[in-house]
Amino acid sequence: MVTVYLSIDTGKTWTHLSLEKTKQISRIVMHPTNPDIIYLAAQGKYAIPTEEIGVYKSIDGGKTWNKTLYENDFAGAAELSMDMNNPQVLYAALCIKKNTLENH
């Protein structure tokens, strides 16, 4: 099981933020001036299709999450990058994780 935790006191205490069904989280990006805005890249478990993958956004510090990018059940979000000069610009890389004989 994969889960996300948040500390706002340099690691002394931690708060559980959910998202267990995503299975693998490849990147977390926080807005440079608003700590309530968080983006999360969910890659999912290798070669297992799921609707729980893609890019998620929280606007309340991780209490709730909305999926903002989803391609299909096999395209997990492998990477995220935010333009720190313009935090409205976010780049996401999706990785097809379908494992079949024709892929080898």
Distances (CA, A) of 3 to 28, 76, 83, 98, 100: 12, 16, 26, 23, 28
Cα distance between residue 70 and residue 58, in whole Å:
16
pTM: 0.82
Domain count, the chain: 1
Per-residue model confidence (pLDDT) at position 57: 96
pLDDT digits (tens, 9 = 90+) for 16-71: 877 777 778 889 999 999 989 999 998 887 777 888 889 999 999 888 899 999 99
Per-residue model confidence (pLDDT) at position 50: 84
Q: Which domain holds residue 29?
A: 5-103
DSSP assignment of 28-91: EEE-SS-TT-EEEEE--STT---TT-EEEEESSTTSS-EEEE---TTEEEEEEEE-TT-TT-EE
